[in-house]
Chain A
Amino acid sequence: MRDVIVFVEHSGGQTRKVTFELAAEARRLADALGGKAHAVVAGSGAAALAQQLQNHPLDKIHHTDDPDVDKYLLDPFVDYLEAVAKSVGPSVILVPNTMLGRDIAGRIAARLNAGLASDVTELRVENGRVNCVAPKLQGSTITTCAFKAGDYGVITVRPNAFSAAPKSTGAEVLTIEKPSGKSYKMAVESDVEEASGELGLEEAPVVVSGGRGLGGPQPFETLLKPLADALGGAVGASRAAADAGWVPYSLQIGQTGKIVSPQLYLAVGISGAIQHKVGMQTAGTIVAINRDATVPIGETADLLVVGDLFQIVPALTALVQKAKAAHA
C-alpha cells in the first residue's frame, strides 16, 4: 500500500470542492507512504477537468470521456477505477462520502477484496499503516481503524474535513483504456434536477437549515434563502420538512440525509433529534433559533436564541445585508 488514488466525482466536468480536498490529502498520504498520488476522472467533460486538476498536487491524472459512464449506472465508473487500481497495485483509494461515493466504495472494495473505512474525518500514517479516524454510533464514539499493510484499502472521506491546497506539481495526464469484455445493463433513462445549486450543500461554508417550525414551503424561499444568500451559504432542512414535501429530500441533513461540516450551521425551527445532529454536529459554530428553551439542539449549539423565528430571521438577514453593504 504505497500509492493513493482519488476518485473524482463530477457532473459534466464540474467537480466539487471535496475533490481538491482529497487531492491535497492524497499528496500528504502518498508522501508519508513513499508513493504517488493519482486521480481518476471518467465521463463527459473528463478531459477538461483533468486539465483543471493539474493545478493540484497530484502525480498522475487518469481520464476517459467514454459515454457509457453517463449512460449506465455505476458499473463503468467502477471498472475504470478498478483498472487504474490494478495497474498501480495495492493502494489507498479515497472516495468522497456522498451518495455516489458510498455506492462506488462498496463495489470497488469488493472487486479489490479491500477493507472499507467509512465517513473518515482524519487520516494518519503510522508505522507504514494508514489509520482512519471516524465518528461512529451517531457521533458518540470516535474510532481509529488501521488497514492491514499490503492490501488495498478504500476510504470514504467526509467533505469539508480536509483543506484543499492548490499547487501544480506537473502532474502527468493519461487516458485510460476501456476495459475489454464489459457490457452494461442498468441504463440511466433520465436525470432530473430537483434542487439546482444544491450540489454543494456538503461543502457550503454556511448552512441555514429549516425544520417543522417553518410551517410550510414558502418560508424556505422567503426567509431562509435570503439569509443563506446574505451569509454566502446554502439552505438545508430537517427530515420533518422533507417528509412534509416542503423541500426535496436532497436538502435533508442527518443520518439519512447529508452530513455537513460547515463553518457555521444555523438550525431554524429544528428541535435537534439525534438523527439530525448526526448530520451537523461537527460544524464549526452552531446557532439555533427556537421558541422552546429546552430543545435538544441546545445541547449541541454554541448559541441558542429563544424566540419566534418569523421575527428573528428577517431582522438577522437585514443586519447581515447591511454589514455587507457597509463593507463593500
Chain B
Amino acid sequence: MAKPNDLVQGTLDLLILKTVSLEPKHGWAIAKRIQQISGEVLQVQQGSLYPALHRLEQKAWIKAKWMESETGRRAKFYCLTAAGRAQLVKEAENWNRLSAAINLAVQTT
C-alpha cells in the first residue's frame, strides 16, 4: 500500500512551479512551504526535490540565483521564468481537469 503522503506522479513539478511563482525561494524553503500549505499532508522527499529542481532549471522553467538568505548565508534561490509561468498555467489546468475527472468518477460509483 502506498504511503499517504506520496505525491501523485508528475504533480511535484506543478507544486514547485506554484511555490516559486510568488517569490524566489531556496530548496529547503520550497519543501517547507509545500508541507505547510498542504496542511502537513504532502511531504517532499529531498531525494526527489533536488533532481526535480535541476530538471526544471534545465527546461528553463525556473531560474536559479545565488542570494543572501534570511540567515545571512548565500543560498540558491529559484524563481519562475516567463516560460515557467506559461507552463504553470498549463499544468494547473491539466491538474484541475484530471482531479475533477477523478472526483466525478469516485462520486458516481
Judge: A and B partners, yes or no: no
What is A's interface to B at a CB cutoff of 8 Å? none
Residues on B close to A: CB < 8 A? none
